[in-house]
Amino acid sequence: MEIRLDGKRALVTGAGKGIGREIVKVLTECGAHVVAVSRTQADLDSLKAETGCSTILADITSAEEAKRCAEAAGDIDLLVNNAGIALLAPFLEVTVQDFDETIAVNLRAALIIGQVVAKGMIARGKGGAIVNVSSQAGVAAVQDHTAYCASKAGLDHLTRVMALELGPHQIRVNSVNPTVILTPMGEKTWGAPEKGGPMLAKIPMGRFGYPIHVAQAVAYLLSDQSDMINGIIMPIDGGFLVG
Ligand code: NAP
């Protein structure tokens, strides 16, 4: 089985580094033309040189910027809401500012960009596919991750409602929920052995993931090979969530 996305236009947010960057590479290899959104110009320049993608510089913390980049992307068949941030603090010390920023990037931007893209898909009448990049933290409580966990749990339920309401238009919406993935974010949060060790011990397969593990699952969920899969929350976690 070979995944082909020839002739499709894909929009990927948070494409500059880590998982999003790998998703752009894999979707391009599958034949899609990708529009990459991120907030550091140098990342977008190197990604464009590597893959031939189109780029849009935007910080989607802002609702206006999120709408602007989705509109500027043009007709989109495949959407990956990947941009996310992790601002860590014990529950008793979480600030309103950090909570609001986390929700804005991890959850609200997926709503706004999803609305613009889905309206275009509906107008063109050819369906489409959307993947929201969530986390095991959307399902399991993780120490010091109050805002992050809440944002990802919200994203998972947004995925289900989108699947419910967009399904009749042949637009499938699913989420992927990775464990620790070795990206700049993953290294920052779990790189220290005293933090990474206990997390590793809870993963039956005993290892963290790499961006390619997530990118391949995303490509599958965007492809015709997953034609009847709609509204799932797909762990990519080496078994973490069975515990
Ligand atoms: P990362 O290494 O920090 O990369 C995130 C990318 O998104 C960066 O290019 C970043 O740009 C961009 N970005 C962040 N906020 C943005 C904003 N407001 N507007 C536009 N671009 C923005 O993160 P990652 O590990 O690849 O994570 C990607 C997704 O996977 C996130 O949703 C994350 O929650 C999820 N996830 C990650 C892990 C993990 O362990 N790594 C596990 C589960 C789920 P700048 O660098 O320029 O800020």
**All structural domains of the chain:** 9-233 (3.40.50.720)
- In this structure, are residues 58 and 66 in contact, taking their beta carbons and an 8 Å threshold? yes
Ligand 1 centre and the CA of 17: distance in Å? Answer: 7
Q: How far apart are CA 171 and CA 74, in angstroms?
A: 17
Retrieve residue 55's tokens.
């780029």
Give yes or no: 152 in active site. Answer: yes
Q: How far apart are CA 117 and CA 172, in angstroms?
A: 13
Q: Provide the pLDDT confidence category of residue 21 given band limits of 50, 70 and 90.
A: very high
The CA dihedral of 85, 89, 95, 98, to the nearest 10 degrees, is: -10
Give yes or no: 17 in active site. Answer: no
Does residue 116 carry a pLDDT above 90? yes
Does residue 199 carry a pLDDT above 90? yes
Sheet holding 171-178, edge to edge: 54-57, 33-38, 9-13, 78-81, 128-133, 171-178, 233-236
pTM of the predicted model, to two decimals? 0.99
- Out of 8, 148, 188, 220, the active site residue is 148
